Amino acid sequence: MWCSTLFTSILAAAATVDAYGIKKHVNYEVVTGVFKQDDAATEASSFNFTAENFGLIERKYPSDWTYWLQKPTSWQRLNRYIESLNLKAKHNERYTLLFLGRHGEGYHNAAETYFGTPAWNCYWSEKDGNSTVTWADAHLTPKGVAQAQDVNKFWKKLLTKEKIAAPQSYYTSPLFRCLDTARLTFAGLPLPKTRPFVPTIKEYFREGISAHTCDRRSTKSYIHANFPTYRFERGFAEHDPYWTALHAEPAADQDIRSKTVLDDVFASDRGTYISVTAHSGEIASLLRVLGHRVFGLSTGAAIPVLVKATTVVGSAPATSTLPYAPQKTCAVPPAIRDSSCNDCSCCT
């Protein structure tokens, strides 16, 4: 049974692009040499960010000077370095440290592993679940909860022992697995009173919008009932305006909206330390927009990116969008288990 009756199709993705009405846009560059993740020699698939102090490279900074007399931690020296960069920056430039976190394992992740990718993509993912498990706007599995709790312990150590600068603001995708991962990651931490954990939910930090029901968000009332302290960005609709049954957002559109939402954050938020909780595909898209190399994150993993942002007047170069593309499905799950037929050419 398809979900096409739940929401009317919105094929005009173009209408969403200027949702934030931005007249200026931002050019992003990654400040390399600070984190191991932007070094081509670092293998993403085996990289354990909690065992590696978030990937922070042990190095000297020009701003160290006599600061070492105070026996600062490496994170305190980095914070001072970022401060010094911002003091010297031109009026339209700034340096911001982004913490991009992927949600812990959700029931949709577990289901894809269970059914195999072809059967998942071409059959099961378009359903809300089976008789025992729901994966529409998937919740975290017990493993996903444990992953987020591990990251919470890691942040506790960073804040108390490493004296990392706490995020000044928090953003999250509107999908349940991210809302819950952000809560579990930052709950009960010794955060500064001036920087409480009050995330803002932003539509465009959501995952690439496929026909999978795990990409359809819940209603605003449901989100509010479950996460009463979270803020919604302006204009956040009661029902998901973007998910479209049996249609998928083209990849190019995702990068355009990733840039739009980043530009919106940089236009409205003067913070130097910003946390975003999102998805594997969306973080990959954000990294492309930021000019970072490809760095895949497993469920529950996070990556820091030191960004130089330069605000320029005018529209972003790529602002046109393609319509959502119809997504192929199979009437019965394909038997093949490897990922050789993700276009559903193996339907039987």
Ligand X SMILES: *[C@@H]1O[C@H](CO)[C@@H](O)[C@H](O)[C@H]1NC(C)=O
Q: Which positions are catalytic?
A: 103, 207
Question: Alpha-carbon torsion 291, 285, 296, 202, what sign?
Answer: positive
Helix (H, G, I), strand (E, B) or coil at 279: coil
Do 134 and 168 meet the contact criterion of CB atoms below 8 Å apart?
Answer: no
**Among the candidate windows 16-24, 45-53, 197-205, 248-256, which touches ligand X by CB under 6 A?**
45-53
Q: What is the nearest approach in angstroms of ligand X to the Cβ of residue 106?
A: 10
Identified binder of ligand X from the candidate list 45, 66, 70, 131, rule CB under 6 A: 131
d(CA 140, CA 157): 24
Strand partners of residue 303: 100
Residue 16 or 125 having the CB closest to ligand X: 125
Q: What is the nearest approach in angstroms of ligand X to the Cβ of residue 109?
A: 9
Residue 164 or 265 having the CB closest to ligand X: 164
d(CA 222, CA 318): 34
State the DSSP H helix or E strand holding residue 75, giving kind and residue range, or none if neither.
Answer: helix 74-88
Does the footprint of ligand X cover residue 46 (CB under 6 A)? no
Q: Which of 14, 207, 9, 254 is nearest to 102 (CA)?
A: 207
Number of residues in contact with ligand X under rule CB under 6 A: 10
The one-letter amino acid code at 279 reads H
Q: Provide the token pair at 329.
A: 């499905």
Residue 131 or 320 having the CB closest to ligand X: 131
Residue 47 or 205 having the CB closest to ligand X: 47
Q: What is the nearest approach in angstroms of ligand X to the Cβ of residue 36?
A: 14
Q: What is the nearest approach in angstroms of ligand X to the Cβ of residue 59?
A: 22
Strand partners of residue 150: none
Identified binder of ligand X from the candidate list 50, 84, 149, 168, rule CB under 6 A: 50
Does the footprint of ligand X cover residue 78 (CB under 6 A)? no
Q: Could you tell me which residues come within 8 angstroms of residue 276 by beta carbon, excluding any fewer than 6 positions away?
A: 98, 99, 100, 101, 170, 171, 172, 205, 286
Residue 144 or 199 having the CB closest to ligand X: 144
Does the footprint of ligand X cover residue 42 (CB under 6 A)? no
Query: How many CA atoms within 13 Å lie on the side-chain side of 53?
Result: 14
d(CA 115, CA 125): 10
Does the footprint of ligand X cover residue 111 (CB under 6 A)? yes
Q: What is the nearest approach in angstroms of ligand X to the Cβ of residue 113?
A: 8
Does the footprint of ligand X cover residue 132 (CB under 6 A)? yes
Identified binder of ligand X from the candidate list 8, 130, 160, 345, rule CB under 6 A: 130
Does the footprint of ligand X cover residue 45 (CB under 6 A)? no
Q: Which residue has the tokens 């976190």?
A: 101
Does the footprint of ligand X cover residue 114 (CB under 6 A)? yes
Identified binder of ligand X from the candidate list 133, 336, 341, 347, rule CB under 6 A: 133
d(CA 304, CA 37): 8
Provide the binding-site residues for ligand X, judged by CB under 6 A. Answer: 48, 50-51, 110-111, 114, 130-133
